[in-house]
Amino acid sequence: MAINDEMNIGVSASIDSQILIYDMKNLNVRHKINPTQFGGFTQLRFSSFPIKTAEDECPMLYAASTLGDFFIIEVRTGKTIH
């Protein structure tokens, strides 16, 4: 579990390869990310500073998988960047 207080976002990941991004104000799931070919997830971290995107600046989420892959996810859209 990772929480970003500035954006009121919580993120959970599981060994079944699913990442859920929650809106902590409304307690709703904002995005569901399920890249099943990469195994489960073991670590989640938010970037310590916002990253410049096409539209504006956005915090990124870093996720490490059980198969050794590393993901960068744009938090607002739930899109996997890399």
Predicted local confidence at residue 51, as pLDDT: 66
Rg of the chain over CA atoms, in angstroms? 12
59 vs 71, higher pLDDT: 71
Predicted local confidence at residue 37, as pLDDT: 65
Contact 75, 61 (CB under 8 A): yes
Q: What is the pLDDT of residues 23-33, one digit of tens each?
A: 988 889 988 88
Task: Please state the pTM of the whole predicted model.
Answer: 0.74
Predicted local confidence at residue 45, as pLDDT: 86
Contact 24, 9 (CB under 8 A): yes
